[in-house]
Chain A
Amino acid sequence: MTSTTATSTMRPPRSEVGLIGWLRKNLFSSVTNTLLTIIGLWIIWKVITAAIGWAILSATFEGSDGAACSREHAGACWPFIQAKFSQFMYGRYPEPQRWRVDLTYVLAIAGLVPLMTPSVPGKLFNTLYMIVFFPIAAFFLLVGGYFGLPYVPTELWGGLLVTLVVASVGIAGAFPIGILLALGRRSKMPIVRWVSVGFIELVRGVPLITVLFMASVMLPLFLPEGVTIDKLLRALIMVALFSAAYLAEVIRGGLQAIPRGQFEAADALGLSYPQKMGLIVLPQALKLVIPGIVNTFIGLFKDTSLVLIIGIFDLLGIVQLNQTDAKWFSPSTGMTGYVFAGFVFWIFCFSMSRYSLFIERRLARGDRR
């Protein structure tokens, strides 16, 4: 007897699929796991209720000074953030000139978004805009002193503005220098190799805080009296050189992973050294070490807080500075400021890491055959 119609398939037992099945399989599969699940849930519950209680339920939302937040078991002091928000964003950048900072951000986004979105055409023009036009425009906009824009000395800069300036100049400076150092370290020319190795090992052997300290405390003593180099500029150069050394080692790791055959094939085709590196080796090497590069950049972004010790106020610095304003003193002001700063840092670092994942997956397409 042959059946011409398919018998209706029986539903799997309810204990195997759906929500209950999933729970059984993943959370309550054994006594130990059940116990761990319960403990985990209990911890999550405790943390979340405490966080919500602090940030919302017992928080202060209105007030004009710290007295409003000074009571027993008071939660977050949000009016503090509200009153100081523009300082956290711009530092002491003069208020009538803040549109210049905003315009710089707009120019940056206008260049970065199409550059980072693979489907947008015109990448060459876009890259030129970002590496030639944008830095010049940003410099004139932020510093001023030309085209009728009043000069704004860097000691008035602060907050997120300084964090972004230090991080982006650091990243933009460190990347090309890092590549050159990595290539230099693998070079067959002894002097180039020794200089690269010397620089990398010297910089890696010294903490960033020491380097910044040198730049701010020792350097002025060597210069003639009255001659001062801008503090922010000193920090920018030091941060860029410092991350370049770390980046060089990451990239060197990528170079070492490229099989010999690739180099030989390039040589066999008669490519010159720049062609060989630029067309064959580096594209493969850099793709391999994207996680390492992004790691370095995220580290650099967070290291920008160290400029605080030389009297430049980045986001964290300006938050700490404003915690010393006696008007806002309260038991919870300090904590609120730190949570805010941490949250802003997290937004930027998290976006960087997500974008790098996206790029990694996109570039990995070539490996899937």
Chain B
Amino acid sequence: MKSTTKLFALTTAVLVSTASFASAQTLDRVKQRGTLSCGVNVGLAGFSAPDDKGNWTGFDVDYCRAIAAAVLGDATKVRFVPTTAKERFTALQSGEIDVLNRNTTWTLARDSSLGLSFVGTNYYDGQGLMVKTGLKVKSAKELDGATVCVQTGTTTELNLADYFRVNKLAYKPVVFEKADEILQAYQAGRCDVYTTDASGLYAQRLQMQKPDEHIVLPEIISKEPLGPSVRQGDSQWFTIVRWVHFALLNAEEAGITKGNVDKMLESTNPDVRRILGKEGEFGKGIGLANDWAFQIIKQVGNYGEIFDATVGAGSRINIARGQNNLWTKGGLQYAPPIR
């Protein structure tokens, strides 16, 4: 009898421990493990790609580093997990990764039915159109009767159909399976227009024989808000990742950069003092050290610096800030204040 009770107790203990593990706080697990598991793309120029030494670099990669700097105080303590488009959500659900930073578009369906929550939009992307300068086209509205190269089976193809139908323009799609093929076909003159996400167009242009003979039209025909996502049901972790994003934006707005952050510690500006943890206990409020934002900026930089170095003017891709500029400079990036 006694042994039966013991066995029962043991079984219950095992079950309970597994159950509590499932709902364990991601923050505690990350701290206990000492590294952040971060899901990134298996290779996307400017967002996650290896440098010559094999280190991951890119916009999404820097977001992983920023989270690690805030949570663990060390931006190098990241385990990058390259995930394909299909396995990314499983990796998050199964706990293989703590946060997904993989140029993932925020949609209602994904927010509701996949068991994940998007923390915000760190990159406003959208579908763009590229044409040869020789066509003398200045706007997408002039593209009546054009042939368009597009990747098959993507939302890109559907957005294209929507846009031309709404604007009552005729077009002929030429569909391909792979981006490389589209690039070849477009350069060979099989179509007048090449369409994909604007960030992708800029990257593809660099791989063309004569990049100067092509322009990206000003129209953006779809909304592709990209952002980090976390598992649903862990509000503490959700808040942390969200505020890492906001801290990056607030730092840029307040003019705090990687270079001047040490000097900024002595600043008398109350905004700056609150961001850097010199005033108030804001870091403790979300379960982190009080210098969390200082660590992010010191080790990774602010939003503008990350953008410039990875996809913006400081990189070969050279994407204009556009919608990703701060709200004070005509963009859409707006963060609630740290106070």
**Chain A interface (Cβ within 8 Å of chain B)?**
65-67, 70, 72-73, 83-84, 86-87, 91-92, 95, 153, 155, 213, 216-217, 220-221, 223-226, 228, 308-311, 313, 317, 320-327, 329-331, 333-334
| CA–CA, A342 and B155, complex, Å | 33
Contact A228 B45 (CB under 8 A): no
Question: Which residue in A70, A84, A224, A311 is a CB contact (below 8 Å) of B84?
Answer: A311
Contact A310 B87 (CB under 8 A): yes
Q: Are B90 and A329 in contact (CB under 8 A)?
A: no
Chain A interface mostly helix, strand, loop or mixed?
Answer: helix
Stretch at the interface among B46-54, B132-140, B278-286: B46-54
Find chain A residues with CB under 8 A from B94 CB: 220-221, 223, 225, 228
B168 close to chain A: CB less than 8 A: no
Chain A CB within 8 A of B83 CB: yes
A327 / chain B contacts, CB cutoff of 8 Å: 51-52, 316
CB contacts under 8 Å to A, within B194-231, are 203, 206-211
Out of B42, B46, B81, name the residue touching A326 (CB < 8 Å). Answer: B46
Pick from A95, A313, A326, A333: contact of B203, CB below 8 A.
Answer: A326
**Which of B46, B90, B206, B210 has the most chain A CB within a 10 Å cutoff?**
B206
Tell me the minimal C-beta distance from B160 to chain A in angstroms: 24
Q: Are A326 and B209 neighbours in the complex by a CB distance under 8 Å?
A: no
Q: Is B260 an interface residue (CB 8 A)?
A: no
B327 interface residue (CB < 8 Å to A): no
6 interchain residue pairs of minimum CB distance: A220-B94, A329-B206, A324-B43, A92-B54, A321-B43, A324-B49
As a 0/1 sequence over residues 28 to 63 of chain B, the CB contacts with chain A under 8 angstroms (1 = contact) are 010000000000001111100111111101000000
- Of A72, A95, A155, A224, the residue contacting B81 (CB under 8 A) is A155
Give 18 A-B contacts (CB < 8 Å), ordered by A residue. A72-B209, A83-B52, A86-B54, A217-B86, A223-B94, A225-B95, A228-B94, A311-B87, A313-B42, A322-B43, A325-B52, A325-B57, A326-B206, A326-B315, A326-B316, A329-B316, A331-B207, A334-B180
Using a Cβ–Cβ cut-off of 8 Å, how many residues does chain B contribute to the interface with A? Answer: 43
Whether B90 pairs with A225 at a CB distance below 8 angstroms is no
Would A220 and B79 count as touching, CB distance under 8 A? no
Contact partner of A217 among B18, B87, B315, CB < 8 A?
Answer: B87
Contacts of B82 in A (CB 8 A): 155, 311, 313, 321
**In the docked arrangement, what's the CA distance between A155 and B209, Å?**
35
Q: Give complex CA distance A138, B22 in Å.
A: 36
The minimal Cβ–Cβ distance linking B150 to chain A, given in whole angstroms, is 20
Inter-chain contacts of A313 with B (CB < 8 A): 42, 82
Q: How far is the CA of A320 from the CA of B208 in the complex (A)?
A: 17
A82's closest neighbor in chain B, by CB?
A: B52
Chain B residue, CB-CB nearest to A220:
B94
Q: Tally of A-B residue pairs with Cβ under 8 A?
A: 113
| A228 and chain B: residue at smallest CB distance | B96
Q: Are A330 and B42 in contact (CB under 8 A)?
A: no
User: Which residues from chain A contact B315 at a C-beta distance below 8 Å?
Assistant: 326
Tell yes or no: B185 within 8 A of A by CB: no
B84 touches A310 (CB 8 A): yes
**Quick check: A225 and B21 within 8 Å, CB to CB?**
yes
Say yes or no: is B338 at the interface (Cβ < 8 Å to chain A). Answer: no
Nearest A residue (CB) for B24:
A226
Residue of A nearest to B93 (CB): A221
Complex-state Cα separation, A67 to B315, whole angstroms: 12
Given contacts A65-B316, A326-B45, 11 further A-B contacts (CB under 8 A): A87-B54, A92-B50, A155-B82, A220-B91, A221-B94, A224-B21, A311-B81, A317-B42, A322-B49, A329-B316, A333-B207
| Minimum C-beta distance from A240 to chain B (A) | 21
> How many whole Å from B64's CB to the nearest CB in chain A?
14
Q: Are A66 and B51 in contact (CB under 8 A)?
A: no
**Would A311 and B43 count as touching, CB distance under 8 A?**
no
Q: Is B261 an interface residue (CB 8 A)?
A: no
Chain B residue nearest to A85 (CB atoms) is: B52
Interface residues of B in 253-293 (CB under 8 A from A): none
With A224-B22, A329-B203 in contact, do A322 and B50 touch (Cβ < 8 Å)?
Answer: yes
B317 interface residue, CB < 8 Å from A?
yes
Docked-complex contact B49 and A325, CB < 8 angstroms: yes
Q: Which residue of B lies closest to A320 (CB)?
A: B43
CB neighbours of A92 from chain B (8 A)? 50, 54-55
Cα-based distance from A87 to B316 in the complex (angstroms): 22
In the bound complex, CA of A228 to CA of B98 (Å): 13
Q: Is A155's CB under 8 angstroms from B96's CB?
A: no
Q: Nearest B residue to A67 by beta-carbon distance?
A: B316
Q: Which residue of B is nearest A158, CB measured?
A: B54
Q: CA–CA, A324 to B79, complex, Å?
A: 20
Max chain B Cβ within 10 angstroms of own Cβ: one of A67, A73, A322:
A322
Contacting residues, chain B, for A317 (C-beta < 8 A): 42
In the bound complex, what is the Cα–Cα distance between A70 and B180 (angstroms)?
A: 17
Shortest Cβ distance from residue A300 to the other chain B in the assembled complex, whole angstroms: 22
Docked-complex contact A216 and B87, CB < 8 angstroms? yes
Indicate whether A87 sits within 8 Å of B50 (C-beta atoms), given known contacts A217-B90, A321-B42.
Answer: yes
Query: Which single residue of chain B is at the shortest CB-CB distance from A331?
Result: B209
Instruction: Find chain B residues with CB under 8 A from A329 CB.
Output: 45, 203, 206-207, 316-317
Contacts of B93 in A (CB 8 A): 220-221
CB closest residue in chain A, given B97: A228
Q: What distance in Å separates the Cβ of B63 from its nearest Cβ neighbour in chain A?
A: 17
Residues of B within 8 A of A67 (CB): 316
Nearest B residue (CB) for A222: B94
Shortest distance between the CB of B325 and any CB in chain A (Å): 21
Please determine whether B83 and A311 come into contact, CB atoms closer than 8 angstroms: yes
Q: Chain B's nearest CB lies how many Å from the CB of A86? A: 8
CA–CA, A308 and B317, complex, Å? 25
A331 partner, pick from B84, B90, B208, beta carbons under 8 A? B208
B residues less than 8 Å from A224 (CB atoms): 18, 21-22
* Contacts known (A220-B94, A311-B87, A326-B49); A91 close to B54, Cβ less than 8 A: yes
Minimal Cβ-Cβ distance residue in B for A90: B54
Pick the most buried of A70, A153, A308: most chain B CB atoms within 10 A of its CB.
A70
Of B81, B84, B203, the most chain A CB neighbours within 10 A belong to: B84
Contact of A220 among B54, B90, B180, B210 (CB under 8 A): B90
A237 smallest CB distance to B (angstroms): 17
Provide the bound-state CA to CA distance between A294 and B217, in Å: 54
Nearest residue in B to A94 (C-beta to C-beta)? B54
